[in-house]
Structure 1
Amino acid sequence: MEKHQYKLIEGIFSTAEAKTVLMSVITSKINYHNLNAFSEFVRNNKAVENTKNRVLELTTTREDIIKLIEDAEKMGMKLNIKSDITIELI
């Protein structure tokens, strides 16, 4: 099994920068899952439960991150963000 790792996000960000970067990633993921669910519904006239659940998880994550960023902003802090992606060929 081949495994590859890439740094997706790494650095210290102001709250505005962090919000822009993180919301872009999460919104992209939510849009992907919504499009996937819509496509599946159109093709097969059925809902995809795991996709709906993932959208709910991502929406909750987005709300949590927004709250964290707002708290950091109130305290005048920056955010150190690190995000890696691992890809395995199976």
Structure 2
Amino acid sequence: MRNTNNQHDSEVEFSNYSSLENLTLIKGTFTPSEAKEVLVSLISSKISFHNKKNLRSYELNGKENQESKNRIKEFKKIRSKLLKIFENIDDSEMSIKIDSQISIEFQDNSE
């Protein structure tokens, strides 16, 4: 991660992080259509990621990545559920509060 020739202020060394980082991914109050867009976009991005991972595995190893296939199924179910939740909600009826945290744990693979 370190650029010794021309180090930028935006670069951060691994040692500057604790072993666990908690970050806010989504936080705010949205109209139902905005909430739907944010959440469905996030889920669609995850599906796309796992589709690409599965394709890479097939191209490199001649077999699909079962973990990615399972995650794709899970995310498709979540997306369907979200679409059903937002199906009959009008923007003027209510607002949607979303607070989504992620935890990132750094693990040393050399041990």
Q: Please report the TM-score for the alignment, with normalisation by the length of structure 2.
A: 0.74
Identity across the alignment (%)? 34
Q: Does 1:2 align with 2:19?
A: yes
Q: Give the number of the structure whose residues are more often strand, by fraction.
A: 1
Q: Is the 8 A contact 1:15 1:72 kept in 2?
A: yes
Query: Runs of 4 or more off by more than 4 Å in structure 1?
Result: none
1:77 to partner: Cα distance: 2.0
Highest CA radius of gyration, 1 or 2? 2
Distance (whole Å) between structure 2 residues aligned to residue 36 and residue 47 of structure 1 = 9
Q: Give the number of the structure whose residues are more often helix, by fraction.
A: 1
- After superposition, the C-alpha distances for 1:42-81 in whole angstroms (9 at most, x for unaligned) are 1111011111110000000001111112243388222111
Provide the alpha-carbon RMSD of the alignment. 1.7
The runs of 5 or more residues in structure 2 that have no matched partner are: 1-17
Distance (whole Å) between structure 1 residues aligned to residue 24 and residue 91 of structure 2 = 29
Paired residues, number? 90
Task: With a CA cutoff of 8 Å and minimum separation of 6, indicate the structure with the bigger relative contact order.
Answer: 1
